[in-house]
Structure 1
Amino acid sequence: MKHDCHYHPNTAAKWHCGGCQLHYCTACMPDADTRRKQGLCPHCGQQMRYLGAATEVVPFWNRIPEFFRYPFRADSLLVIAICTFVPMLVDPNVFGLIISVILLLALFKYTYAIVTHTAAGHMTPPPLSMAFSGAGAGVVVQQLLVFILMGGLIYSAGLVGGPVLAMLAVAFLVLALPASMMILAMEQSVGPAVNPLHLTSLISRIGWPYFVLYGHLILMMLVSGAIQDFAFSQFPAIVAQPLSGFVSSSFLLIFFHMMGYLLFQYQEELGFASDLQDQEAPPEPNRALRVDADLDMSLKDGQYDKALTLVKAALKRDPSNPMRLEQLYRLLWAMNDGTELYRNHPRLLLWLADRRDAVELGKMLQLLEQQEPGFRLDDPALTVSCARLMYREGEHRTVLRLLQDFHKRFPDNEHIAPAYLLVAQSLTQGMAQWEKATAFLNFIKKRCPDHPLSEQMDGFLQQAANHEPLQGPPETTRAQFSLDPASGA
């Protein structure tokens, strides 16, 4: 049964909390251990039930091409080749017969390993060793016992109810044969594999897809028989026999893979959970992803105070994280929390200046002015960075307000020269106040004679005398006088 994530509709859920009755997807549970099927509910902290891949697995009838490619992987192809061609190479004596029987048992053992391997989430064949090792060999003997017991059930039905009941028993057991094989492969027990209640329960839980599987079984049997008839009628026995054996073995592996996939697809209905295993190992839990998931859920639940607490806690661990600063900024604006914006303005302004976001920087400066009329920044480097960004946007009055009395607020600071050059440029380009601009240029020349910008003052003064906008130093020179806080210039 498909369940969608409570917080991400149309996304398949992987976890379910019985206490909260909520479903979560992988994005909501980035720190869960899917290998061990362990995960704690982000709301109540209880252990959750892992749903596996059942909610997102592709229906088996949509994977028919993949099923028919399955036998032609390295391991499965080797098993088919060994079990098909080796018996043809041995002498037709007792020793050869023993080898042929052993290889036949190995092939059947491998098919049952395919069922459990696929049901566990492996879409590639089991390793070659699964066919020829001693482990799991008992399933072949158990399958033989199942067939004997089924024959006994049919005989008993005939004794009790006559031919009619015997035919009904045959019809039921033939229909339930794939279910019996699936139960035997998963439980390694003869009793459940012949118990009519177990067989009926499995079929009813899977529903109509079971009959689709059964239809594929009939079709593959017919196709396999047709290929064998064609081979023996058109080719000599030395060619027809291995060809017939290869085709029969391939179809056998395909069908058992389909049975395992059907179990994998309906794992929730059958009471177990598994996930796709033939992938890279999941990365180590990332605390940042856990914070993102909790933040996303808090916002969707309307718990903005909780979201703010999460972001602040994350910033304590990593104060300069730009993603967390953006989350803090967006959240505070959404909450219309001017007080918190003012309290966090130093790092938020620095973040906005670093990302060259003049529009948001202007909004932030307006809010700070509203919160504190006559507001002034305490960081000289940040002040110059903000002023330069606003200058590029043509916000010349904002530049003048930011840099007002800069030399008094930050005496002997290394940023005085670039700060007052920005003031002079704003006065000429935005307001045509040439005399005031000239006064600031002369101040730089007198106050900061050792600053590299002083060498440019004569050129700036000449531009101001000609009532020309101050163009600034060439780009190659300007790079030496970066106004970013980290530059120290």
Structure 2
Amino acid sequence: MDVCHYHHRLATRWNCPGCHTHFCATCVPGGDGNFPADEPRCVLCRTPLLYLPPANTKTPFWQISARFFTYPIKGQAMLLVLLGALLQGAAPDGLLGLLLNILFYAMVIRFSLHVVELLAEDNWTPPALSSVMLGQEENLFLKQIGVYVGFTALGLSAASVHPLFGLAYLAFAGLALPASIMVLAMTRSALRALNPILLAQVMLGIGWSYLLLWLCFSVVTSGPFIVAAWLPEEQNNALFSALLGATSCYFAVVSHAMMGYVLFSRAESLGITDEPERGETLLEADYFSQQALGQSTVLIRAQRLNEAREVLNRALARQSQDLALHQRMQRLLSLLGDREAMQAHLEVYLNLLLQQGQGGKAVEALQRARQQQAELLPHDARLRHQLAEHAYRQSRHELANTLLVGLHQQAPSYPALAQAYLLLARIQAEGLGQLGNAEKLLGFVLKRAAGTSIAQEAQAFATVLAGLRRSAVAN
């Protein structure tokens, strides 16, 4: 399996024939519903990319056999099994009983063909009995009977030419019966279900596992007869009929569920689905965000930093609230070493994080930025105050202290300066052990906010600090 050039744990989904670069779905996100004409293109050389669809990873039917045998005992399928037991066990003799049997088996055939159709779409919910009985496909039963009659007629015609031809066609018809049922279920055409060329294509498209399907089909459809053989020779005819009706329904649904799932698992090779979509279509906002992230990853790794910056600028102009784009831009500006741009963007990014209730992440983002530029701090006093509050709650006292120290000089008219310095006093006293500095800060707060609740809180804290000092002296 080829892997992405930029994400070595991810499989290749796109290949550039121009520069021979492999890309994954992270580098080139989205699907046909997102791509304009002639796109996607390689971000490195602008050559149209070739899509490499994922390999078929659908579970083979024999590995989930338990699901097929439990399928008829849930939902509407179970009602069909019970109805089969009831009708067969209570059916009267004579013409009326014959008519009831015909109607019942017509319903079983229609239900089973609907099962094939649903499982071919990976829909494991059994069809509703009401839709089967009241639907418009009344002729499905007649078509299925017509297929059986057609096989017989074609076999007799072949035998009239030469007995070996008749035997050969009989063997082919027996082998092709599951394929014929699948074709009838999907196309509603008895003629196509009899077409030997089409049936051969279906069998070859499924491959060797068709032989296993045929074997399972043969065993499962013989289930009612096996059950009947186990019953004692002398028994209640009504009980026997009820059991035979229930097992006939049960095993019919099981065998048709297998065939439907085989169609689903081999849909691409059988050509019964539309051409698979390239990629996975995303919501428009998600697509533009992920596209910018993918392209910027490739360009950054290729050391084309200015181009990556252009990509992110275009994306942020469109989606200014996207945190992932802002995070990538901050990282890129750090790589570029553009201190002014990094400072300006950092304030936007931190404000956005706070607005979205992610104060903890805002503190982490500031710390990452300061690892690159140690002197980097927001200019806005309100922003610094908010960040300091979150840093204080996280016990990051050094950062919280750095954010607030000297704020009275940098922003003397900041309306919440008293609250900020009360917080700074707590940080220095509780986090840094600087009681003297904390007392000076409290003195500033008492003057700045005299007569307010802030002053009362500052006075209470000053009293606590004074008590701590007396205790320290006494010890």
TM value normalised by structure 2: 0.73
Q: Aligned-pair distance for 1:208?
A: 1.0
Contact 2:404 2:421 (8 Å CA) reproduced: no
1:255 to partner: Cα distance: 0.7
Contact 2:120/2:263 (CA < 8 Å) preserved in 1?
Answer: yes
For 1:195, the equivalent position in structure 2 comes to 195
CA gap 1:234/1:28 in 2 versus in 1, 3 angstroms: farther
Mapping for residues 329-408 of structure 1, pairs under 5 Å: 329-333=330-334, 338-350=339-351, 351=353, 354-355=359-360, 360-365=365-370, 377-386=378-387, 393-395=396-398, 399=401, 403-404=405-406, 406-408=407-409
The answer to whether the Cα contact below 8 Å between 2:293 and 2:325 also exists between their aligned partners in 1 is no
Distance 2:138 2:14 in 1: 37
Structure 2 gaps of 5+ residues are 41-48, 275-280
Whether contact under 8 Å (2:76, 2:126) holds in the other structure is yes
Counterparts in 2 of 1:59 and 1:450: CA distance versus 1, 3 Å: same
CA–CA distance in structure 1, aligned partners of residues 76 and 52 of structure 2: 30
Q: Where does residue 103 of structure 1 map in the other structure?
A: 104
Q: Offset at 1:12? A: 9.7
Partner secondary structure for residue 59 of structure 2: coil
- The answer to whether the aligner puts 1:112 opposite 2:106 as a matched pair is no
**Is the contact between residue 292 and residue 315 of structure 2 (CA under 8 Å) also seen in structure 1?**
no
| Structure 1: distance between partners of 2:285 and 2:6 | 18
The 3 A distance-change label for structure 1 pair 326 and 197 is same
Q: What is the CA distance between 1:111 and its match in structure 2?
A: 1.9
Task: Report the CA distance between 1:266 and its aligned residue.
Answer: 0.8
Q: Shift of the alpha carbon at 1:448? A: 4.1
Measured after TM superposition, the shift of residue 108 of structure 1 is: 1.8
Q: Does 1:70 align with 2:52?
A: no
Q: What percent identity do the matched residue pairs reach?
A: 24
Matches within 5 A, 1:180-191: 180-191=180-191
- The residue that corresponds to 1:206 in the other structure is 206
Structure 1 residues 115 and 393, CA, compared in 2 at 3 Å: closer, same or farther?
Answer: closer
- C-alpha contact (below 8 Å) 2:422/2:458 kept by paired residues: no
Distance 1:56 1:9, change over 3 A: farther
Question: Match of 2:159?
Answer: 158
* Corresponding residue of 1:289: 286
Determine the C-alpha separation between the residues in 1 that align with 2:16 and 2:179: 30
AA aligned to 1:210 is Y
1:85 aligns to what SS in structure 2?
helix
2:43 corresponding residue in structure 1: none
Residues 14-53 of structure 1: CA deviation (Å, up to 9, x unaligned): x9999999998799877x7xxxxx724379458x9x9999
Q: 1:408 to 1:235 in 2, by over 3 A?
A: same
Q: Write the distance in 2 (CA, Å) between the matches of 1:64 and 1:332.
A: 56
Q: What is aligned with 1:94?
A: 95
- Displacement of 1:224 in angstroms is 3.0
Q: Is the 8 A contact 2:72 2:78 kept in 1?
A: yes
The within-5 A match list for 1:236-251 is 236-251=236-251
Q: In structure 1, list runs of 5 or more residues that go unmatched.
A: 33-37, 275-283, 472-489
Matches within 5 A, 1:205-244: 205-231=205-231, 233=233, 235-244=235-244
CA contact (8 A) 2:419 2:454 kept: yes
Residue of structure 2 aligned with 1:41, choices 3, 17, 35 = 35
Q: State the alpha-carbon separation in 2 of the partners of residues 440 and 82 from structure 1.
A: 86
Q: Single out whichever of 355-364 and 175-184 deviates more from structure 2.
A: 355-364
Q: In structure 2, what is the Cα distance between the partners aligned to 1:426 and 1:79?
A: 73
CA shift, 1:213, in A, is 0.6
Q: Deviations over 1:81-134 (max 9, x none)?
A: 334432553542334432322222222222222222222332122111243235
Deviations 1:302-331 (A, max 9, x none): 467676566556655665665554444345
Contact in 2 for aligned 1:67/1:258 (Cα 8 Å): yes
Structure 1 residue aligned with 2:127: 126
Question: Match for 2:246: what amino acid?
Answer: F
Letter matched to residue 251 of structure 2: F
| AA partner of residue 261 (structure 2) | Y
Q: Against the structure 1 CA distance between its residues 433 and 205, is the aligned structure 2 distance closer, same or farther, given a 3 Å change threshold?
A: closer
- Report the CA distance between 1:444 and its aligned residue: 4.3
Instruction: Identify the residue that residue 269 of structure 2 maps to in structure 1.
Output: 269
What is the aligned partner in structure 2 of residue 477 from structure 1? Answer: none
Other-structure match for 2:278: none
Q: How many residues align?
A: 444
Amino acid at match of 1:73: K
Letter in 1 for 2:218: I
Higher relative contact order (CA 8 A, sep 6+): 2
Give distance in 2, aligned partners of 1:109 and 1:320. 54
For the structure 1 residues 231 and 259, does the alpha-carbon distance in structure 2 shift closer, same or farther, using more than 3 Å as the test? Answer: same
